[in-house]
Amino acid sequence: MSFQVFGLPVSRGVAIGRAVLVASSRVDVAHYFIDETQVDAEIERLRAARDEVADELGNLKRDLPADAPGELSALLDVHLLLLHDETLADATKQWIQERHYNAEWALSAQLEVIARQFDDMEDEYLRERKADLEQVVERLLRALARASSGGHVPAPGVGPRDFAGEDPLVLVANDIAPADMLQFKRSVFTGFITDVGGKTSHTAIVARSMDIPAVVGAREASHIIRQDDWVVIDGDSGIVVVDPSPLLLEEYRFRQRQSGLERDRLARLRHTPAVTLDGERVELQANIELPVDAPAALEAGAVGVGLFRSEFLFMNRNGELPGEEEQFEAYRSAVEAMKGLPVTIRTVDIGADKPLDRMSSAELRHEHALNPALGLRAIRWSLSEPGMFRQQLRAILRAGAFGKVRLLIPMVAHLSEVRMTLEAIARAKQQLADAGRPHANVEVGAMIEVPAAALALPALLPHFDFVSVGTNDLIQYTLAIDRADEAVAHLYDPWHPAVLQLIARTIECARAAGKGVSVCGEMAGDPAFTELLLAMGLRSFSMHPSQIAAVKQRVLRADTRRLAPHLSAILSSENPEGACVTFFAKTGAPE
């Protein structure tokens, strides 16, 4: 029976496919695709884990004391029966053989299927056996983890399976960590659905960077959607349709075709210079997470990288942080891939919704803080880890010898932190000079994402060469809204007058001081804000490569001389969004 699930639209378009559930578990489960040649080895891993658990359960039963209740022995017998049950064993192998899931993922997927069968049973005793099944699967998962010596890292060059000719797939989960999103970034999924998250949560941001439809904050989606259900993701309205009727399915497929035609039309603008009707040249740069994203930025027509989120180099590493050499090679790779265009590298922005899997005692305390978004994160974390910070600074400075590199400091708020940061940069330069290593004197910029920084900008500007407005956090901190919390996501409002006034103030102040200013948050890539940001005087935008063409189209149709006179009225309006539509429609810019 068809039904709908409602969430927040975060990445536009329509996706149609079969649901792939990433089930939550009390045991951490790795989810990755294996290569065709690895299928037999993965099934052998599963068999070895089953044999180990069978021995474990057999030993437990043998070692029961003579006076142990008979129910304990019977319970262990039940667990042994479930362990060898064909519904679990054979079907798990099938997930590996047909979908090329790793063994842990295959087990989790089959547990989800069987658990729902237990839930549908009328007999209470049988329903309660679901807990026994979960315990058996957890034993298997622990055995697989032990055999993998702390976790699996896919071998270089082993990519996701090619599902050409098979049904398209959409990913459904309670949540997806930013690091896990990178594992899926070049995978087979055509869309994402999560129970939690907001419009600027990192799941949403990465989904937009992948240019695939996504809905977040869908509450119980992962509990009511079943494995292999046909699902439609309407990324424009935030609606998920499960088991759609043939008529509805055809309507959405028509919309898919229309979206494809629109993309093709916009793609023709990729190499057209972004110049307004009145001759104002506008920089449209790209946000990237990893060096391998740089070619896509060039292909999309970006004139540089306005934000390289270096923290993604630090994730999914089983506790081992990247050293100076590894970071240097990554940064140099991105710089060389951009072929002389500027690359702005942000120092590691760890904390809040981007935790590391290696944590110090201070970080562990922070992880359990009441509000980690206000705790040890971004530049605060870097300054608390001076050894790590100097390694990163040296790597970035060395990469600057291979092209135009700029250094961006996140979450600037206090002059004391600014001075400590600049001292760390000076020490890193001196260390490189003493070692005779080539490096560059790079420009240093501040991210304006805390209201205090926007308000105190005149005092900060003398210490920096440029500023970049991170609208995602600026909105979050201005409105006291956790941007990853779906319970308050409806209050996250980029059109709020206070937010717009802070952005306008920042742009005006930076331009008056002769300092470069850009916007690198999600507002930069949203065409609804293009004319307003141009009216504020912004001439440098940075966004996901997939968004460049749509924003460029708005730039090419804009006349900044006709936009600017309306700025004051819009900023003082009770409804800035409506005022933009009213005033900018008169300029000839598209509504």
Q: Which of 152, 202, 366, 439 is catalytic?
A: 202
Over pLDDT 70: what percentage of the chain? 84
Does the pLDDT of residue 155 top 50, yes or no?
no
- Per-residue model confidence (pLDDT) at position 568: 95
- Per-residue model confidence (pLDDT) at position 461: 97
Give 267-296 pLDDT, tens digit per residue: 889 889 999 999 999 999 999 988 999 999
Q: How far is CA 316 from the centre of its chain?
A: 13
* Residue 323 tokens, joined: 């050293």
Of the listed ranges 164-173, 189-198, 439-448, the one predicted with least confidence: 164-173
Contact between residue 21 and residue 112 where contact means Cβ atoms under 8 Å apart: yes
Give 204-216 pLDDT, tens digit per residue: 776 776 778 999 8
Query: What is the pLDDT averaged over residues 155-166?
Result: 39
- Per-residue model confidence (pLDDT) at position 366: 43
- Per-residue model confidence (pLDDT) at position 123: 67
- 219 Rama sector, left if φ>0, alpha if ψ -120 to 50, beta otherwise: left
- 462 Rama sector, left if φ>0, alpha if ψ -120 to 50, beta otherwise: alpha
Give 546-571 pLDDT, tens digit per residue: 899 999 999 999 999 999 999 999 99
**What is the band of 73 on the pLDDT scale with cuts at 50, 70, 90?**
confident
**What is the band of 202 on the pLDDT scale with cuts at 50, 70, 90?**
low
Verify whether residue 520 is a known catalytic residue: yes
- Residue 37 CB contacts under 8 Å (≥ 6 apart), including other chains: none
Verify whether residue 366 is a known catalytic residue: no
20 SS3 class: strand
- Per-residue model confidence (pLDDT) at position 153: 36
- 149 Rama sector, left if φ>0, alpha if ψ -120 to 50, beta otherwise: left
Picking from 488, 482, 507, the residue whose alpha carbon sits closest to that of residue 571 is 507
Answer yes or no: same fold for 3-22+160-264 and 36-147: no
Contact between residue 570 and residue 532 where contact means Cβ atoms under 8 Å apart: yes
521 HSE (CA, 13 A, CB side) = 25
Strand positions, DSSP E, 86-187: 169-173
Q: In what order do the strands lie in the sheet with 169-173?
A: 3-6, 239-242, 230-234, 14-22, 169-173, 189-194, 214-216, 8-11
* Residue 441 tokens, joined: 């004197």
Q: Which of 46-50, 334-338, 377-381, 491-495 has the highest mean pLDDT?
A: 334-338
- Per-residue model confidence (pLDDT) at position 28: 59
For domain 3-22+160-264, give the CATH superfamily.
Answer: Phosphohistidine domain (3.50.30.10)
- Per-residue model confidence (pLDDT) at position 370: 56
Of the listed ranges 62-66, 479-483, 508-512, 566-570, the one predicted with least confidence: 62-66
Q: Which CATH architecture has domain 268-585?
A: Alpha-Beta Barrel (3.20)
Does the pLDDT of residue 76 top 60, yes or no?
yes
Helix axes 86-94, 70-84, angle to 10 degrees: 30
Contact between residue 483 and residue 460 where contact means Cβ atoms under 8 Å apart: no
Q: Which of 31, 439, 520, 544 is catalytic?
A: 520
Q: For 506, list phi and psi in degrees, rounded to 5.
A: -65, -45
Global pTM exceeds 0.75 = no
Domain ranges of the chain: 3-22+160-264, 36-147, 268-585
- Per-residue model confidence (pLDDT) at position 318: 61
Q: Which CATH architecture has domain 36-147?
A: Orthogonal Bundle (1.10)
